[in-house]
Every structure is written in C-alpha cells, then in structure tokens.
A = this chain, B = another copy of it.
Amino acid sequence: MEKPTFQPVGTPVMELDTPALVLDIEALNFNLEKMSSIIGQSDVGIRSHVSTFGCPAIAHLYADKVPGNSGIAVNTIGECEVFANAGFSDILITNQIITRSKILRLCSFAANHSVQVLVDNPQNVRDLSDLAVNSGVIIGCKVEIDVGLGRGGLSDPGEITELANSILALDNLELTGMTANFLPLHVSSVSTKPSTESLLEIFTDTISQVTDIDAKYRFLSVRSNEGFQDLLSASEISEIQIDTVPLMDQKSLKMNLQFKPSVKVLCSVLSHPIPTRVVVDAGHKTTGPDIGLPVVDGLSGIEAVKFSAEHGALEVGDNATQILAPNDKVWLIPFDLSLCTNQFDYFRVVRNNVLHGLWPISSRGSFG
C-alpha cells in the first residue's frame, strides 16, 4: 500500500512530499454550502455516492452538511463493509450482486444494516431470496432501468413489470423502487454524452409504461454528477445519488462553474528535457488520466500533455527553465476524481495552507 512520509500537522502545503493528493478543506466546505443552497427546500433525497472518494471522514461531512441526506451509495459489497464500520447504516449498493459468496456476505451485512442492491435478472432475484431466507434477513431491491447507455438494467416495460412482481412475490425481498445510472461508459476519452434531460425523459417514459405496479414502488433514484441540478426540479425523481460534486474534478467543474476544485495533485518539477517542456513527478499512477488529462491550476498557458507511469510532461512554451525550475511545485486538477483517488491511500488535508491531517481513503481497492 501507499507508504506516506507522515509529515507533521502544521507542515506548509508547499513542503509536502510529492506527488501528494491534497484535499483543501475550505474548498470542500465551500462546495458543500453551495450544494446545500442549490438543493435548498427541495424534498428530493440526496444519497452521497461515496465510492468516488472512498473516505469516511468526507462522507460524514457530506451527510452532516447537505440537506435531504438519505444514506449513502457504494459500488461493491467490500465498500459497503468499510463504510458500515465507519458508522453508516443505510447503504445502497449500485450494482448487481451475483456470485454466491458475495450474496452470502450481503446477507451477513443485512443482519445489522439496511441494504439495497440493484437487480435486472430473474435468476439473480431468486438467488437473493433463497439465501436471504436461509439467513433470516431482508434485502432491498431496486430494479435497474437502462436509459440507453447500455451499462446495465432493463428497458422493456414488460420485463421490468415482471421482475418487479417477482420481487414482490418472493420471500425476504423488499421492492424499494426503480433506479437508473446517468453516467456514461467511456472508451479512452469522454464521448459526447446525452443530456440529463434526454436521459430523464427515457427513464420517466419507460417507468410510465410500467403500469401493473403500485405507484408506491415507483420510487425513482438516479445516479448523476454534474447534471444533478437539472434533476432537482423533476417531480418524478425521489432521490439523487451524487458523488463528485462536493469535491469536484475537471470533468464536473466544466458544467458547475460556481464550485471549486477541492482535490488536486501537488507535484514537483524534475527535469527539462527540451526547452518547451517540463517533466513533473506525477504520471498515470497518480493522476489517473484514463478518460481525460489533468489540468494545471494557477499557471496560465501551461498544459499537461503526456504521461508515463510516473512522469507527466507539461508544455510551457519557450524558456521552460525560466518558468518552472527543478523542485518548483505544480498543482494538477484531476480530470476524473474517482480514477485519481483510487491510486492513493490518503488525502493530505490542508487548511489555511498547512497540513491539517491525513484522512484514509479506507475503501480504496475494495473491488469485490
């Protein structure tokens, strides 16, 4: 695992060992307040999707400060266990739980916590019921709807109705509504993605055709990031699962200009192989640039252009050595927060430009 050089609280931020994943607690608080004022009096539930940052300390701040808190969401049973240990008890796993060993872990978990999973397959629903009955626990099920992104779920109203009715008929399962994930799958870069409005239209149109189900089971929960503001006013939506917003990344900032980037990678200049280029000590392994390159913060005209596992190359125009000398520090805003934080085990938390603490990313790597 990551072996941080534990520097003392109070260390000036520019003296942190690099590369460092730095969380600016003031920017985080600013974003949480901004988010709260946007949500305002809306009666939609806000479920914090914590797998993006994996840090219970942040999840607690999020739950305390943002109105409408309706529990947390995670991606895996492993993350579920980590966050339950950290004090969270109402957890939605935004995934199908398929294998027998994982269903058994889910049942153990359900003995002491409220847990829901996504379902889109009749056999899986029967397996969940069988093992829940054996364990004497109740498992909440949300039917996943595919809104055309092809990332999981059903789209045929007949199949949706049939699956929902089978959940109602089976023992030890509870139908807790329908859900859709509005985040697109990527190849190596972010493709043009459908608008939140168009995805919402597909979702509500599909649900409107599911007529043979009592209205109380049409509790609609949507996973979204930058589009969350468009969902607040949608009367059909009961709950939004939001992840990146309070922390922000370059991908989400582009559509939410009133927020601040609270998480950045601090790196050091290592070399100047050619006059127009500066090489820094942050590469693929720290910035996670799978679907987009990080952006240099606070230095205009400088662009992150290429990466190796441990190095990043910045294009700086001429006279690179005049602009950034070896050992100078550079701030990078990650393009996608989730892929960046998954590389680290700790946030270096900074307040007033000094180290305030090291917050563990406790669920990093909890894939299974």
Q: Which of A131-139, A205-213, A252-260, A335-343 contacts B (4 or more CB under 8 A)?
A: A335-343
Instruction: Tell me whether A17 and B368 are in contact (CB under 8 A).
Output: yes
CB–CB B99/A338 < 8 A: no
Contacts of A177 in B (CB 8 A): none
Chain B positions within 8 Å of A4 at CB level = 368
A170 within 8 A of B: no
Q: Closest CB-CB distance, A226 to chain B, in whole Å?
A: 15
Is residue A75 within 8 Å, beta carbon to beta carbon, of the partner chain?
yes
* A290 on the B face (CB < 8 A): yes
A8-63 residues at the B interface, CB under 8 angstroms: 15, 17-20, 51-52
Cβ-based interface call for A262 (8 A): no
Proximity string of chain A (268-279) to chain B, C-beta cutoff 8 Å, 1 when within and 0 when not = 111111100101
Chain B residues with CB under 8 Å of A313's CB are: 150-151, 185
Q: How many copies does the complex hold?
A: 2
Chain B residue at minimum C-beta to C-beta distance from A311: B151
CA distance A150 to B367 in the complex (A): 36
Shortest CB distance A277–B (Å) = 5
A273 and B152 form a contact (CB under 8 A): yes
> Given B81, B98, B121, B364, which contacts A268 in the complex, CB threshold below 8 Å?
B98
Chain B residues whose C-beta falls within 8 Å of the C-beta of A326 in the assembled complex: 96, 98, 121, 123-124
Describe A's contact surface by its main secondary structure: loop
Chain B nearest Cβ from A207, distance in angstroms: 16
Write the chain B residue with the least CB distance to A313.
B185
In the complex the two chains form, is A286's CB within 8 Å of B51's CB? no
Q: List the 7 closest A-B pairs by CB distance, nearest first.
A: A2-B365, A185-B306, A152-B271, A146-B273, A1-B1, A188-B188, A290-B290
- A146 pairs with B99, CB closer than 8 A: no
Inter-chain contact A342/B273, CB cutoff 8 Å: no
Which B residues are CB-close (under 8 A) to A203? none
Which residues of A176-219 are within 8 A (CB) of B?
Answer: 183-189
Which residues 246-302 in A have Cβ within 8 Å of B in the complex?
Answer: 268-274, 277, 279, 281, 284-286, 288-291, 293
Q: Which residue of the partner chain, among B20, B120, B124, B277, contacts A150 with CB atoms under 8 Å?
A: B277
Select from chain B the residue with minimum beta-carbon distance to A76. B310
Across the interface, which residues of B come within 8 angstroms of A183, CB to CB?
A: 308
Question: Do the beta carbons of B270 and A95 come within 8 Å of each other?
Answer: yes
Q: How far is the CA of A274 from the CA of B147 in the complex (A)?
A: 11
Provide the residues of chain B in CB contact with A285, threshold 8 Å.
338-339, 342, 367
Question: A52 to chain B: which residues have CB within 8 Å?
Answer: 309
CB < 8 Å neighbour of A367 from B2, B154, B184, B188: B2
Determine whether A366 belongs to the interface, using a CB cutoff of 8 Å to chain B: yes
Chain B residues whose C-beta falls within 8 Å of the C-beta of A124 in the assembled complex: 326
Are A96 and B274 closer than 8 Å at their CB atoms? no
**Interface contacts beyond A51-B309, A123-B326, A188-B188: sample of 20 additional A-B pairs, CB < 8 Å, sorted by A:** A1-B364, A3-B81, A3-B365, A5-B101, A15-B101, A17-B99, A20-B368, A52-B309, A75-B309, A95-B310, A120-B271, A150-B313, A153-B273, A186-B308, A187-B305, A187-B306, A188-B189, A284-B291, A284-B338, A344-B365
